[in-house]
Amino acid sequence: MTDKGFITCLWFDDNGEEAANYYMSIFKDSKLGRVSHYSESGMGQPGAVMAVEFEINGQKFLALNGGKQDFGFNESISFQIICADQDEIDYYWGRLTDGGREVACGWVTDRYGVSWQVVPGVLLDMISDADPQKAGRATEAMLKMTKFDIAEIERAYAGQ
C-alpha cells in the first residue's frame, strides 16, 4: 500500500489479522497488503502480528493489534455499502450479521463490533427527490425497516 491518501485504522485487541481475513472473504474486490510483527523492542509479544494492511473495494484499512484498552467500536462511525440490487443487500446483510447483529435502518454490527450500513443506491435518490411527497413516503418506509427491502421502498415512493 502507498503512503498517500487515507487509511482507516481499526484497533483490535489481538485479532486484527482474523478480522482482515474475514472482511476480505466478504468483499470480492479485496487484497492483502503488508503484515508486520512486533519485535523485541515493541509493545506486543515478539513475533505476534502487530498490524495488517488490507484493501476492500478500493478503501485502505489497517487492522492494528493494539492490545486491550478501553477502546471499542460504536455506531458513530460506520461504513456504507452502496448496493445495486436486493441480491447484494441480502449477500452483505447475511455475511455481516453472521456472528454480529441487526440494528435498524440498514445498519448492522459485525462480529468485531464494526458498524456497516447496507444501503440500496436507489434509496439515496428516492429520499432526496425534489417531490417532498415521494421523498417522505420513501423515508417513512425506510425508517420502519431493519434490512432494506428495495421493492417495498419503491412501492412506498410510488404511492402504492
Give the SS3 label for residue 24.
helix
16-34 as b/e, with b when 16 or more CB fall inside 10 Å?
bbbbbebbbebbeebeebe
Q: Which helix (H) or strand (E) holds 116?
A: strand 115-120
- Is 90 exceeded by the pLDDT of residue 150? yes
Catalogue all structural domains in the chain, each as residue range(s) with its CATH number.
7-65 (3.30.720.100), 78-158 (3.10.180.10)
The distance in angstroms from the start CA to the end CA of the chain is 49
Greater confidence, 4 or 79? 79
**3-43 pLDDT, tens digit each:** 678 899 999 999 999 999 999 999 999 999 999 999 988 77
What is this structure's pTM? 0.89
